[in-house]
Amino acid sequence: MTDLEVQAAEFDAADPLAACRERFLLGDEVAYLDGNSLGRPLAVTADALARFTREDWGGRLIRAWDEQWVALPTELGDRLAAVLLGAAPGQTLVGDSTSVLLYKLARAAVDAAPADRDEIVLSDDDFPTDRYLLEGIAAETGRTLRWIPTDHAGGVSVEQAAAAVGPRTALVVLSHVTYRSGHLADAVTITQVAHAAGAPVLWDLCHSVGSVPIDLDGWGADLAVGCTYKYLGGGPGAPAFAYVAARHHGVLRQPVQGWFGRRDPFAMAAGYDPAPGIRQFLSGTPPVLATVPLQVGLDLYAEVGIDAVRAKSVALTEFAVASADALGLELASPRDPQRRGGHVTIRHPDAKALVAALWERGVIPDYRAPDGIRVGLAPLSTSFAEVAAGFGVLAGLMPTS
Ligand SMILES: *Cc1c(COP(=O)(O)O)cnc(C)c1O
């Protein structure tokens, strides 16, 4: 065994969450290092989907809408809020995709801003869909984008956010954990800085939910969206979630005013009359079937608790950083674990070819253009031995000096 493998075996033996890994469906891959992009399924997910098909759908048919599904988007939102978001009930819903929810919330916030607040503040290195959607909203509403120039190996600092916001800010949109470097933003301070300038903040939680603690109510957050198919194991294309702080209900109006966001949708009445509370942010029929894996994923998070998950996540990223250092590789992520989420990125000029070679050998990280090898470490399903195996294969691909 190499030094890394010996160390990994020690860490796995001491890991209080080690047994969680056995609950996932593990394939024949050597190392799955992309659980931050598409989480592995839990074994119980297959049973839950079969049971749902037989009992809820097949057994209750249309009656299940009244019995449980109409309430599902907000009931499941409340559960997610309690387990992972630090949010009181009545402020979170599950449905649509992250892109669609981001559009709905950002557009509502920009529309509610006074006309002289004509700037939307965002990072020039945010996830593409965030940038594209805000470009579209700026064009639709006659606002301009104020880009915060962001280091690919870092993220937006409090100082940068403070310098970008002011009396012209309509909305600030930032990722809590950036998709590229894994930088963890100081969400509470940035929210305070934006509020001091009179602007609301929309937090994108896609890469933080399920890997780092989130305290939306405690931050005084205004708006948030996030994915469920990354760390939460919701499955490919699983619906996203949105949070709107209670103080904004009845004030913000979202633009996709479908029947599910109307007061008493089954009255089928004339004219759109927004539902009270968070339900106004619904649009159409919720994706009930697609929420089944998320429900079992949340059960595991509720059982384990996010603090234990974060502790394992930090240990995994520390181990990955040490493994990269041992190979002399350049880290393109924060070194300080306090400023880092659940993944790390390594910069290498041959990143694209290296990732292709790794995939051929059963080691599955992500390539992120132009030169990033992104190593995702899903705390509930990734073992230290798996990380060591992945870096072992990478070491074999490096030219020996
Ligand atoms: C993954 C991710 C998304 C994905 O949006 P979809 O609508 O699910 O495609 C959006 N924003 C960030 C920051 C992400 O990491």
User: Per residue in 255-281, pLDDT tens?
Assistant: 999 999 999 999 999 999 999 999 999
- Tell me, using a 6 A CB cutoff, whether residue 179 lines ligand 1: yes
Give me the chain's average pLDDT, please. 97
- Tell me, using a 6 A CB cutoff, whether residue 127 lines ligand 1: yes
Report the percentage of the chain scoring pLDDT > 90: 98
Q: How far is the CA of 133 from the centre of ligand 1 (A)?
A: 11
Atom 2 of ligand 1 has which residue's CA nearest to it?
206
- The best mutation among 97, 100, 105, 127 to test binding of ligand 1, ranked by most ligand atoms within 8 Å of the C-beta, falls on 127
Predicted model pTM: 0.98
- Tell me, using a 6 A CB cutoff, whether residue 227 lines ligand 1: yes
- 32 belongs to the catalytic site: no
Question: What's the mean pLDDT in 151-161?
Answer: 97
Q: Is 90 exceeded by the pLDDT of residue 399?
A: no
Over residues 309-338, the pLDDT tens digits come to 999 999 999 999 999 999 999 999 999 999
Tell me how far apart the terminal alpha carbons of the chain are, to the nearest angstrom.
Answer: 22
Q: How far is the CA of 320 from the centre of ligand 1 (A)?
A: 24
- 229 belongs to the catalytic site: yes
Atom 14 of ligand 1 has which residue's CA nearest to it?
206
The CATH classification number of 3-43+305-397 equals 3.90.1150.10
- Tell me, using a 6 A CB cutoff, whether residue 97 lines ligand 1: yes
Over residues 177-222, the pLDDT tens digits come to 999 999 999 999 999 999 999 999 999 999 999 999 999 999 999 9
Q: Which of 24, 32, 52, 229 is catalytic?
A: 229
Range of weakest confidence among 85-99, 275-289, 356-370, 387-401: 387-401
Looking from the CA of residue 126, the nearest atom of ligand 1 is 13
- Domain ranges in the chain are 3-43+305-397, 70-301
- 374 belongs to the catalytic site: yes
Over residues 1-24, the pLDDT tens digits come to 889 999 999 999 999 999 999 999
Over residues 41-84, the pLDDT tens digits come to 999 999 999 999 999 999 999 999 999 999 999 999 999 999 99
Report the pLDDT value the prediction gives residue 341, as an integer from 0 to 100: 98
Q: How far is the CA of 311 from the centre of ligand 1 (A)?
A: 25
Q: How far is the CA of 272 from the centre of ligand 1 (A)?
A: 30
Q: Is 60 exceeded by the pLDDT of residue 401?
A: no
Looking from the CA of residue 130, the nearest atom of ligand 1 is 11
Report the pLDDT value the prediction gives residue 308, as an integer from 0 to 100: 98
Q: Is 60 exceeded by the pLDDT of residue 175?
A: yes
Domain 70-301: which CATH class? alpha beta
Question: What's the mean pLDDT in 81-94?
Answer: 98
Q: How far is the CA of 207 from the centre of ligand 1 (A)?
A: 8
Report the pLDDT value the prediction gives residue 84, as an integer from 0 to 100: 98
- Tell me, using a 6 A CB cutoff, whether residue 130 lines ligand 1: yes
Q: How far is the CA of 129 from the centre of ligand 1 (A)?
A: 7
Report the pLDDT value the prediction gives residue 400, as an integer from 0 to 100: 65
Looking from the CA of residue 99, the nearest atom of ligand 1 is 7
Report the percentage of the chain scoring pLDDT > 70: 100
One fold for both 3-43+305-397 and 70-301?
Answer: no
